[in-house]
C-alpha cells in the first residue's frame, strides 16, 4: 500500500473515532470523495480491503487503523 493511502486511512480513522467514538464503523469508500477522481487509488484500497483481508463492507475504524498502522513501510 502506498504511503499516501496509508496516511489518508489513518487520518480519516482518527477523525471518525474522535467524532463518533471507538465503535464507529466505516467502509473503504470513506477514504475517498464522492466522485472517483483517482480510480487506481480506489482500486488499491478495494484490493487491500476485499481481496487481501476479506473484510466486511463495514468494519470498526479502530480495527482498520490498527491494521494499517502495523503494516511495514
pLDDT tens for residues 39-73?
A: 999 999 999 999 999 999 999 999 999 999 999 87
Q: What is the pLDDT of residue 8?
A: 94
Beta bridge partners of 60: 25
Q: Please give the grid coordinates belonging to residue 71.
A: 503494516
Q: What is the share, in percent, of the chain residues with pLDDT greater than 70?
A: 100
Residue 12's pLDDT is what? 96
The Cα–Cα gap between 17 and 34 comes to 21
Amino acid at each position: 500500500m502506498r504511503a499516501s493511502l496509508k496516511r489518508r486511512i489513518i487520518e480519516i480513522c482518527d477523525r471518525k473515532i474522535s467524532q463518533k467514538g471507538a465503535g464507529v464503523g466505516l467502509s473503504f469508500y470513506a477514504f475517498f470523495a464522492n466522485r472517483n477522481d483517482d480510480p487506481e487509488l480506489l482500486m488499491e484500497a478495494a484490493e487491500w480491503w476485499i481481496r487481501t483481508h476479506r473484510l466486511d463492507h463495514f468494519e470498526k475504524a479502530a480495527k482498520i487503523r490498527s491494521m494499517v498502522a502495523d503494516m511495514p513501510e
